[in-house]
Chains A and B, each alone.
Chain A
Amino acid sequence: MSVLHLPNAHYKSLVSAHEDVLLGDQISWLNGLRKKAADQFSEIGFPSFREEEWRYTNVTPIEKNKFTVPRESGSVDEAFINSVLLEGCYHLVFVDGHFQPTYSTPVNDLPSGILVSALSQAITENEALVKSLLDSVVETPALGFVSLNTALFSDGAIISIEENTAVEKPIQVAFISSKAGALTLSNTRNLIFAQAASTAHIIETYHGVEDECYLTNAITEVVVESNATLSHDRLQAESSKAYHIGGVYSRLDDKGVFKQSNYTFGASTSRCESHAILGEASDCTLNGLYVGEDRQHMDHHTRLNHAQPHATSHEYYKGILNDRSQGVFQGRIIVAQDAQKTDSKMNNRNLLLSDRAEVDTKPQLEIYADDVKCAHGVTVGQLDETAVFYLRSRGADEQMAKNMLTFAFANEMVERIEFKPLRLAVLDELLERFPQTGMKKEWL
């Protein structure tokens, strides 16, 4: 194994340099966990493109850039922060991986039955809960980025919904990278716990000041207990020069319902994992939309691990690649021998708008049970010529017709967003990329 990995002396030294300033450095179990992760990172390092799972995504620039971990947050324009906060939500805000109480919803304003807090606070107030959730879902052997995150995470959100509690408003956790002018690395960790028969909606958003180069390494662990329903949206709108490595690792107990959606617009290179372990008769939806331009590289890896019988999963990812951008989609479905009556659908559709854009898409089914339904489909295509002709024959000029159809391709995913402020935020990202549609938000 070891021959596959990149040298990473710089990042190893980062770990030792921060050992005694990290969140919870007085807590021995946490120190132990961090130490173990650091050792693991020393051993496995960053993934190499020679590994099958990383064939299409080269992380050498991350290694070369020698990002460093800021000890405190840099300054960000107040207006910028306010512009990314969605209306009608509870908020938790982090800048450069550090909690910003000024922009976050005070505990007193939260309804009863929920905990929405920064880990840095919860580690003293709710240590047992943090301990039970941290590193409980993410699969081992972990990825180098996961180990690095566990070893170095500076903060993040902990959200716990008590049994039978329905949270009315969505909870937005916003991560912002400042105009630091330095190569910063934010390692953030979110822990989400939807207890039995609870209902909640969580929105993670990632933003950066344009033209800044930084690295976000963000991991979310999710536990959805029996009969709980959790929606999780993740909007990645980093600066176009940034690197973003993210992962949502979830576990669904019996009859748990989890809907995870990714909206990927930013970063020069991004990778997002969405992995779920499905309990009996649980229901998991993984959706995604990625829109690349210039030389952006967007990689999505999903893994649906059907461990128990009678679970259903639905996966729908759509990508639009323009200019010389590159998309990667790998959808893995594993159906264990005991997972009879699994019903799983996966679909990945891509639109290539330029000759130099590229997409590598790979469904991967590993089915060990015999009584299952698994359907998967992949398409890579250009715009439908007949539809272009139809729109032009109605007086839309060629560019407009093409933009309308491209927009429509993406809008299919956007229309599914029920929470309007998020839908509008995603639309903004989309319209920014297709200005010639003549599309106006109020028509939607």
Chain B
Amino acid sequence: MLKVENLHVSVEGKEILKGINLEIGAGEVHAIMGPNGSGKSTLSYILAGREGYNITEGRVLFFGKDLLEMSVEERAWAGVFLAFQYPVEVPGVSNIYLLKAALNGMRKFKGLDEVDAMEFISMVKGKMKDLEMDEKFLYRAVNEGFSGGEKKRNEILQMSVLEPSLCLLDETDSGLDIDALQIVAKGVNRLRSPERSFVLVTHYQRLLDYIKPDFVHVLAHGKVVKSGGPELALELEEHGYAWIDKKLAS
């Protein structure tokens, strides 16, 4: 589904990603772990199409197409979804309006009619119930004044409404208490399917107790320095990121 080849990215002359290689097959769950500042969010943003980065080398293929050539919205339409580490507050735009505009944008791209208003509402309300979100959030401005946990849940709500093929979750676990973490994890697990892949970007392994990854990659200094199975996350948890540095040095 996704193939990242030798991706080099710099910002203001400073190289942040220094040759990332990653291959993600349909239905797989990958965890990308790494210390703060290792470039995890940068990688997520690059895949979602954020501007302001210099891609100096490499390419990214999504279902065989050049992802980097596509605009932000084209990527969304093609099935890329990024759950932001810091979801953006959008005063004046209600949650329901954004969800509807987003879903209709997606449907338009696929040549489908606009979603039926009644069906839409009941579908969204059902998903909110799963995420234990109060219906009043529908009419509140997107993320405005939401707590950290509410924002993260809202990201998962958008993801479940839009049903993307590739879900990138940037530190969705950070700032969540254990109850909220379980709810979010359940929301993600509900979306798992043979056609849908996940990239869980995280600093800690605790999210992976609830969402079982098939592969774990360690990102450090702008490179994937180690890849392995779920056991790699446990090793990291035990030894800390310094352990990676030591291993690299030797």
A interface vs B, CB < 8 Å? 385-387, 389-398, 400-401, 404-405, 407-412, 415, 438-439, 443-444
Contacts and interface: CB of A to CB of B under 8 A. Distances in A.
B105 A405 contact: no
A36 to B, nearest CB: 48
19 contacts: A390-B88, A393-B48, A393-B72, A393-B75, A394-B76, A394-B98, A394-B105, A394-B158, A395-B77, A395-B101, A396-B73, A396-B98, A404-B93, A407-B92, A408-B91, A408-B93, A409-B92, A411-B92, A438-B101
Interface in B57-101: 71-73, 75-77, 81-82, 84, 87-88, 90-94, 96-98, 100-101
Contacts of A444: 94
A393 B76 contact: yes
B105 A395 contact: yes
Contacts of B76: 392-395
B140 to A, nearest CB: 12
B102 A405 contact: no
Given A439-B97, A443-B97, A392 B91 contact: no
Contacts of B141: 408
Given A389-B50, A391-B98, A393-B72, A412 B91 contact: yes
Query: Which range contains the number of B residues in contact with the other chain?
Result: 20 to 34
A405 B93 contact: yes
A195 to B, nearest CB: 38
B167 to A, nearest CB: 12
Contacts, number: 91
Contacts of A438: 101, 104
Interface of B: 48-51, 71-73, 75-77, 81-82, 84, 87-88, 90-94, 96-98, 100-106, 109, 141, 158, 162
A396 B88 contact: no
Contacts of A391: 90, 93, 98, 102
Contacts of B158: 394
B108 to A, nearest CB: 9
A389 B51 contact: yes
A389 B90 CA distance: 11
B97 A396 contact: no
B105 A400 contact: yes
B51 A394 contact: no
B50 to A, nearest CB: 5
Contact of A395 (B51, B88, B91, B102): B102
A408 B92 contact: yes
A322 to B, nearest CB: 17
A394 B71 contact: no
Contact of B105 (A397, A408, A410): A397
A394 B90 contact: no
Contacts of B71: 392, 398
A31 to B, nearest CB: 52
A392 B92 contact: no
- 10 tightest A-B CB contacts, nearest first: A408-B92, A392-B72, A395-B105, A390-B88, A395-B76, A394-B102, A395-B102, A411-B92, A408-B93, A392-B73
Contacts of B96: 443
Contacts of A407: 92-93
B91 A394 contact: no
B162 A395 contact: yes
Contacts of B48: 389, 393
Contacts of A390: 84, 87-88, 90
Given A389-B72, A395-B77, A401-B73, 13 more contacts: A387-B88, A391-B90, A393-B76, A395-B105, A396-B98, A398-B71, A400-B105, A404-B90, A404-B98, A405-B92, A405-B93, A408-B92, A408-B93
A394 B104 CA distance: 11
Contacts of A415: 92
B73 A386 contact: no
Contacts of A412: 91-92
Contacts of A401: 73
Contacts of A385: 51
A231 B158 CA distance: 40
Contacts of B100: 443
A49 B88 CA distance: 43
A398 B100 CA distance: 16
A396 B91 contact: no
Given A404-B101, A438-B101, A443-B100, A395 B106 contact: yes
Contacts of A410: 92
Give the most central of B71, B84, B97: most A CB within 10 Å: B97
Contacts of B81: 393
Contacts of A411: 92
B124 to A, nearest CB: 12
Give the most central of A397, A405, A410, A411: most B CB within 10 Å: A397
Give the most central of A391, A407, A412, A415: most B CB within 10 Å: A391
